[in-house]
Amino acid sequence: MKKLVDRIIALEKISKELEPTEKERDLLNQEVQSYANRFIETLKTKPAFSEANVDSRKLKMGSEKLSLATLLEVYGSEVADQGIKPASGGHLGYIPGGGIYTAALADFLAAFTNEYAGMYFGSPGAVTIENELLDWMKGVFGFPKDAVGNLTSGGSIANLVALTAARDKHQIKNEKVTKSVIYMSPQVHHCIHKAIRIIGLEDVQVRLLALDALSKIDPVQLEETIKQDLRDGLQPFMVIASAGTTDTGAIDPLHEIGVIAKRHKLWYHVDGAYGGFFILAEEKKTLFKGIEMADSLVIDPHKSLFIPYGLGAVLVKDKEAVFHSHHYTANYMQDALVDMQINPADVSPELTKHFRGLRLWLPLQLHGLKPFVACLEEKLLLTTYFRNKLEAIGFRLGPEPDLSVSYFWYPVTQVEENKFNEKLMELMHQDGSVFLSSTRIDGRFVIRMAILSFRTKIDTIDSAMVMIKNCSSATKLYFKI
Ligand SMILES: *Cc1c(COP(=O)(O)O)cnc(C)c1O
């Protein structure tokens, strides 16, 4: 017994390293705090993009202890200063968000209290907070109170949960798979295609609908396609619309599609991962009419609510459909069977999960909703401002966008237009002061702007214009035109 106790005490001397003293905690916190301050204060003067040049030796796992100062330095040079800077207001590529500071504080709280947000029994407060947020979202999008939802790691998992519920509701399995039809825009986010495969529906019929001039689903054509499939003995099962596509930000005609979905008893799924929260901007409300008709909806607070990466959300009206694949009881969980509230674990593939709701709940409570809405409205106006400036120096613009994603290209005749714009994009990436990405629309290489970071301000757009002018001149020189 003595030997056993001696060994335990010897080990404790080593393992107590994992619990810093109050004084040590103060020092550690101060170091991170001052790093955070330096990071945020210098964001504006640093490029939004740097081509990768990571020294992987510095990031090697070793068994020796290193100081926090050393680790923060390595973090700065090899992580924070490399690639795209998602925290920078100059990030105008893909779908940015920024990552507000107070959400990081919430993550800190959630991490050191280590709340178990999977089950109500484990953390009734944390689960209540997450369900409160979902109730708030139900209100925003006109979903009934008895809908269920989940705060996921992002839009991809949220779409996966929604599509799983659709599959289970309509019992798409066995010989039904190859006869069932899903209708969607060719512009749906690729995570929809991933989800279809993951849930075993690879062999389902997928109809990629033709789009109108604004890259939106044409409801007339949708209904004709459904009718033709019915005549052919197929089983229309689900229609997927986007409330803001990733490529052009287009919002499909949600109401018209909803009416058709109801008429043919199809599951109606809306992916609003990028655009959903723009419903909060008064002038955009009408574009979202019909979103309340959806059977399932995906929204991404880590995009249009500016929360750091790692927060998506899904709402589903049919609780039983979600529970079919996700609600489970196990013997070792018998103590947890108090159903005061929906357990996050019953609505998601996850059991143990990060208490990610706090990173949205705390900022919303601390700042109130107003600055979030103002920020969304500001992004919409900055998009117009940017487009006007580009047009004034001879760029061609994509159609007037619904939201804050748009595209442009420089028209040339002396050389192949796509080649010119590809070179222009390459030079802009080399410059990096502001980061834009590109896409192809009907075969045309275009430069895409996505204005969604909360840190993108009018002076960011002015800097973008300086960069674009310089790079355009350099591209003309390159092609000698
Ligand atoms: C970003 C996006 C997704 C994927 O969401 P993640 O959070 O990146 O997993 C899905 N749909 C749309 C429309 C998106 O913009």
The length of the chain in residues reads 481
| Ramachandran region, residue 235 (left: φ > 0; alpha: ψ -120 to 50; beta: rest) | beta
pLDDT on residue 78: 96
Amino acid (one-letter) located at 457:
K
8 Å CB contact between 403 and 275: yes
3-state secondary structure of 302: helix
**In angstroms, what is the span from residue 317 Cα to ligand 1's centroid?**
21
pLDDT on residue 328: 81
Residue whose CB lies within 8 A of the most ligand 1 atoms, among 215, 300, 448, for a mutation test: 300
**In angstroms, what is the span from residue 94 Cα to ligand 1's centroid?**
10
d(CA 236, CA 230): 7
Residue whose CB lies within 8 A of the most ligand 1 atoms, among 246, 307, 448, 452, for a mutation test: 246
Q: Which of 112, 114, 188 is nearest to 155 (CA)?
A: 188
**In angstroms, what is the span from residue 305 Cα to ligand 1's centroid?**
13
- Kindly state the helix (H) or strand (E) to which residue 293 belongs, with its residue range: none
Which listed CATH number (3.40.50.300, 3.40.640.10, 3.80.10.10, 3.40.50.1100) goes with 108-367?
A: 3.40.640.10
**In angstroms, what is the span from residue 154 Cα to ligand 1's centroid?**
7
> How many CB atoms sit inside 10 A of residue 154's CB?
19
Give me the DSSP letters along 1-52.
-HHHHHHHHHHHHHHGGGS--HHHHHHHHHHHHHHHHHHHHHGGGS-SEE--
In the chain, which residues have pLDDT < 50?
none
pLDDT on residue 100: 98
User: Which residues have C-beta atoms less than 6 Å from ligand 1?
Assistant: 95, 154-156, 159, 189, 191, 242, 246, 271, 273-274, 300, 312
d(CA 460, CA 24): 39
d(CA 473, CA 375): 33
The contacts of residue 249 (CB under 8 Å, 6+ apart) are 274, 275, 401, 402, 403, 404, 405, 406, 450
Tokens describing residue 322: 């979600």
- pTM for the full predicted model: 0.96
